[in-house]
Amino acid sequence: MAVANTVTHEGSNTVTLSDSSFDEDVLRSDVPVLVDFWAQWCVPCRQIGPTVELLATEYAGKLKVGKLDVDTNGSTAMRYNVRGIPTLLLFKDGHIVEQRVGAVGKSELQKMVDPHV
């Protein structure tokens, strides 16, 4: 069951996204949004989780970072043709401007984000 509201984890700058909140939280955002498509069972997803959290903290105010669980929010994953996880999509002004698939390091994420913030 998809969560209807956006939930921010306590002590975190990462937003939990859902099918129902995606358009508002991502496509209509006035700052770029990095979306981490992941699943609880995905080992590489869990491996990059701390790096994604760190990025959310370091870019707070300039970048929104959201996590979307593909198991409970399959519509959005299908909408963006997410076939492998983790998939990281960077949205700016409602459009995908960068994409990475797989567990990437912090420097690769920074290279992805820096030109757009």
- Catalytic residue list contains 45: yes
A 10 A CB-CB count for 52 gives 21
- Catalytic residue list contains 42: yes
Q: Give the SS3 label for residue 24.
A: helix
DSSP strands (E only) in 1-117: 7-8, 14-17, 33-38, 64-69, 87-92, 95-101
Peptide bond into 44 cis (omega under 30): no
Q: What is the DSSP string of 32-49?
A: -EEEEEE-TT-HHHHHHH
Torsion angles phi and psi, residue 8, rounded to 5? -100, 130
Q: Which of 15, 26, 42, 77 is catalytic?
A: 42
Q: Which of 17, 45, 103, 109 is catalytic?
A: 45
Catalytic site residues? 42, 45
